[in-house]
Amino acid sequence: MIDVIIAGGGPTGMMLAGELRLHGVGVVVLERDPEPTEVVRALGLHARSIEVLDQRGIADRFLEAGTTHPLAGFFAGIDKPAPERLDTKYPVVLGLPQPHIERLLTEHAVEAGAEIRRGSTVTAFDQDDDGVTVELADGTSLRARYLVGCDGGRSTIRKLAGIDFPGEPSRVETLLGEMEIGIPWEEAMPLMLEVRKTQKRFGIGPIGGTATYRVIVPAEGVNEDRAVMPTLDDFKEQLVRIAGTDFGVHSPRWMSRFGDATRQAERYRSGRVFLAGDAAHVHPPTGGQGLNLGVQDAFNLGWKLAAAVHGWAPEGLLDTYESERHPVAEEVLNNTRAQIELMKVEPGPQSVRRLFTEFVQFEEVNRYLIEKIIAVSVRYDLGSENDLVGRRIGDLALKRGGLYAQMHAGRGILLDQAGTLSAAGWADRVDHVVDVTEDLDAPAVLLRPDGHVAWAGEDQAGLEGALARWFGTAR
């Protein structure tokens, strides 16, 4: 029997595969597409996602492949620089197209021992008390302890599980593609910038020293059939309507469309079946949060599934995946919908945008919105009055180096500044790090494998309660 089957080999599925293999869990990824996609639906990584990769020792691969850009204009395209001294060592956005992110995550998962099966489509599954039997389009079947649907907004796994996907349908639609333009960039750029003063859902930009440009333009209405891809003529017509010229676009590499639908799975779990990434939530791409949200879903779920597979998961641990990640996605749905409203060109939304732009001039407001977008302000409700508990921790400077370097194995961490505590009964799951830092206002913290604080204090009894709650019975 396979430990975990992951349906969907995009960034969420590959991140989850790597996390599970880190803990020695057997993983098979089933991806219906025979080859990796070249469609660029996301353009990069935000701070929390880079931190997540850093905690596993692979951030450098992504940083070397991408380009860092200032965190400016990320809320509804309002042009305001990021506040100073953000609580992260990555106060940037890492420009890296989705196919490259997916490739690097796939390489990491395969290096860790994950099995990837391309051209494999799930058609049905049946679960019982011991596992899940997955039926494939070729007539074969596989058996696993758990099944995770990372198969996108039209998730087959979600539909087969009978999980509702309530929300709002698309009201506006946008065309997106990569193609060449027929006029010099020096001529096209000023016109593009002029249009973008009022139309924030429009843009043209060169792609890394090639003759190809990324083109984004509002569509005419909403297409009823989401499977129908736009044509080059569709792009030309909309470019003329919005900008007064079609820029001579030609030779498209790929073309697609996306809407502003916001939907969220009613639940993230049905027995031994889980949902993550777009299978659990879809929303407008404003702020570039979608791919990042999925990667962070996987980071939350991976160690918990591994604990269940290895038999040490305390009661209720798997349920915390939904209770923690559902509210986070709900917040993203809310802020992306708000951004879409602020980007509309009608007089009412434009009036609100002008007023909102004034609000963003306040440092506190700007910081609040940016930290929301880059997900460093996420705090899980773990039932503690201590404000530190539930928050992710930054890469604290320890005497022995950065904290994240201690987290590559994906285990829990007891960071004990005084050296007076013990996690001896959990030594197979938690590393006891005795070190000091000027960046932590607590005698000691217990960190989960996902870097969120599970406990803070100096009381051994309180520590042991937290250890049992998150890491099971002492051995």
Predicted pLDDT of residue 40: 73
pLDDT value of residue 208: 74
Asked whether the predicted pLDDT for residue 73 surpasses 80, the reply is no
The pLDDT of 83-112, averaged and rounded, is 93
Could you tell me if 143 and 131 are in contact, meaning their C-beta atoms sit under 8 angstroms apart? yes
State percent of the chain over pLDDT 70. Answer: 99
pLDDT band at 75 (very low <50, low <70, confident <90, very high): confident
Q: Where are the domains of the chain?
A: 2-167+263-374, 173-259, 397-471
The Cα 182–Cα 188 span in angstroms is 9
Asked if residue 471 has pLDDT above 70, the reply is yes
- Per residue in 3-40, pLDDT tens? 999 999 999 999 999 999 999 999 999 999 988 887 77
Q: pLDDT band at residue 41, thresholds of 50, 70 and 90? A: confident
Retrieve residue 195's tokens: 């249009």
Q: What is the pLDDT of residues 313-325, one digit of tens each?
A: 999 999 999 999 9
Give counts: helices (H), strands (E), the chain.
12, 24
Q: Contact 303/317 with Cβ under 8 angstroms? A: no
Q: Let me know if domain 173-259 sits in CATH 3.30.70.20.
A: no
Does the structure show a pLDDT above 80 at 447?
A: yes
- Closest among 324, 322, 301, 326 to 313, alpha carbons compared: 301
In this structure, are strands 262-264 and 167-168 parallel, antiparallel, or unpaired? antiparallel
DSSP per-residue string spanning 23-62: TT--EEEEESSSS--------EE-HHHHHHHHHTT-HHHH
Q: How many angstroms separate the CA atoms of 472 and 475, rounded?
A: 9
Checking if the pLDDT of 226 tops 70, the result is no
Mean pLDDT for 75-98 is 88
For position 389, what pLDDT does the model report? 98
In the CATH hierarchy, which fold is given to the domain comprising 397-471? Glutaredoxin (3.40.30)
Q: What is the pLDDT of residue 76?
A: 84
3-class DSSP state of 147: strand
Domain 2-167+263-374 sits in CATH at 3.50.50.60
* Residue 224: pLDDT over 80: no
**pLDDT (average), residues 123-151:** 97
- C-beta atoms surrounding 346 within 10 Å: 8
Residues 256-300: tens digit of each pLDDT: 888 889 999 999 999 999 999 999 999 988 888 899 999 999 999
| Residue for token pair 């019975």 | 473
